[in-house]
Amino acid sequence: PAAGLASQADADALRDALRQGLNFLTLSRPLILVLEDIHWIDQSSLDLLCAAADSCQSLPLLVLATHRSGDVPLPVLETKKS
């Protein structure tokens, strides 16, 4: 149980650090974040990306994700629709 709490705390800290970093980087200019080969993304990384996208909607930020055609896991396709 303690390890699960530490993992959740680490995940929360990483999500906050990413949000703060993106906020800082977009203070003076717009930012393009390119993520290549997103078809290899694991669920925890996809969750992190979705959380960052939700919390950074008002920033001058474009997230461009590339993937192989026909090689994209279902959770990534569902994310693309939202």
What the block records as the tokens of 22 is 């993106």
**59 or 44: whose pLDDT is higher?**
59
Q: For the chain, how far is it from start to end, CA to CA, in angstroms?
A: 33
Per residue in 71-81, pLDDT tens? 666 666 666 54
Own/partner pairs, 21-24, CB within 8 angstroms, 24+ separation: 22/52, 22/56, 22/59, 22/61, 23/56, 23/59
Cα–Cα distance measured from residue 33 to residue 70, given in angstroms and rounded to the nearest whole number: 23
Tell me the pLDDT of the chain averaged across its residues: 82
Name the pLDDT band for 27 (thresholds 50, 70, 90).
Answer: very high
Structure confidence at residue 3 (pLDDT): 53
Structure confidence at residue 77 (pLDDT): 61
**13 or 67: whose pLDDT is higher?**
13
Q: The whole model's pTM is what?
A: 0.72
If you average pLDDT over residues 60-73, what whole number do you get? 80
